[in-house]
Amino acid sequence: MSILKKSMLALTASTMLAGTAFADGHSNLEGTLRIISDMSNPAPRAAMEGLAADFDEMHPNLTVELEIVDREAWKSQIRNALSANPPDVINWYAANRMRPYVDAGLFMDISDMYANGDLPGLEAVQGAMTLDGAQWGVPYTYYQWGIYYREDIFNELGLEEPETFEQEIANCQVIVDSGRACYAIGSKFLWTAGGWFDYLNMRTNGFDFHMELATGQASWMDDRVRETFANWRTLIDMGAFIEDHQTYSWQEALPFVVNGEATAYLIGNFAVPHLREAGLTDDQIDFYQFPMIADVPMGEDAPTDTFHIASGAQNVDAARAFLQYVTSAEVQTEINGPDALGQLPVNANSSVADDEFLQQGFEMLSQNASGGIAQFFDRDFPAEMASAGMEGLQEFMVFPDNLDDILERLEATRERVYE
């Protein structure tokens, strides 16, 4: 029996005795619960297998059948799976990535579970599960984005973590004057430029406008979009970014931070292990929330993985109970630990692994992400719009004078994609 399995069994026993929400009222579950999961990598697979086995053991009259599929293959298989022989529960992603299956009637509306208080601790991330005023699933793991920086270089230059964009620009000028770039970025595969746009737009215009743009309700020709690009150009014109970033992947740009040629990187927490493996210590690197630009609530990028009940589910009671179970504070703590998913629990009442950056991210997303949780540019925007958008964003970073042409192309794409 694995360590994860043993700890989950112990957790299950303790929470059952305590009568927590996911155990209470579900002792008579019976029949078969079919789950299809795309947690195909070794550690996530072990976590998923542990969840299924533990939930099965909690309910003697219930049989849990788990099918694990390849994560990439699932992206093209999910529609057929939901249509032909739907399972009860499946894995997917939050926000606009749910849209095709919500619109097709393939995901079950579980709004009553949120309204009735069956999912305590998910208030901060409820918006990520909301489309058309209803909730269509539950989140089970996510991770933060933010600015990871060389604390030792900041100390050398006498810089403090900025709280405003004005302070960010002032810091950047000191960094540039020292002969360094402010930010590493590898935009060869485009999506990293999407991260910069997400933050600059959410900080300039707020989360709600960013989502209006993502859902086609706002125009790329809107003056508010131009204001976002104007803020971005301030950094570009002062030489804030490493040169030739369009020739690097995000991994290939990391050595600029490691070698001290750039002081910071706007990236997800997945970059931290690479920085550590390259020889940087936690005393040399630190993290801060992307600073405030306008007086708007602070939205954050936090790509979120989710569970959903298929609209054709045969065992809805068991499926609902499983969603309560997997989002409970105790289970969230366990499956997101360093021996399992190694990410952040979405339940605000969970505990976080003893890792400086995970703890900072959890505090930021649970307490300081007052503006809402975005899912990242290529998840929030429809695929065709996201592709055209990220091409335009990278082009702007290299040729900022092309902005008018870029915005005209993106607006033409918006009119076609959302018609």
**Dist. CA 295–CA 297, nearest whole Å:** 7
Stretch 211-218: mean pLDDT: 95
Predicted local distance difference test score (pLDDT) of residue 142: 92
Q: How sure is the predictor about 1, in pLDDT bands with cuts at 50, 70 and 90?
A: very low
- Per-residue pLDDT of 66-125, as tens digits, reads 999 998 888 889 999 999 999 999 999 998 889 899 999 999 999 999 999 999 999 888
Which position has the token pair 């059948």? 65
User: Which domains, ranges and CATH numbers included, belong to the chain?
Assistant: 3-142+304-350 (3.40.190.10), 145-301+374-417 (3.40.190.10)
The DSSP string of 283-302 is TTEEEEPPPB-SSS--EEE-
pTM for this structure?
Answer: 0.83
Q: Would you say residue 15 has pLDDT above 70?
A: no
Q: Which residues pair with 308 in a beta bridge?
A: 90
Classified as helix, coil or strand, 340 is coil
Classified as helix, coil or strand, 269 is helix
- Per-residue pLDDT of 139-173, as tens digits, reads 999 999 999 999 999 999 999 999 999 999 999 99
Q: Please, what's the largest Cα pairwise distance for the chain?
A: 69
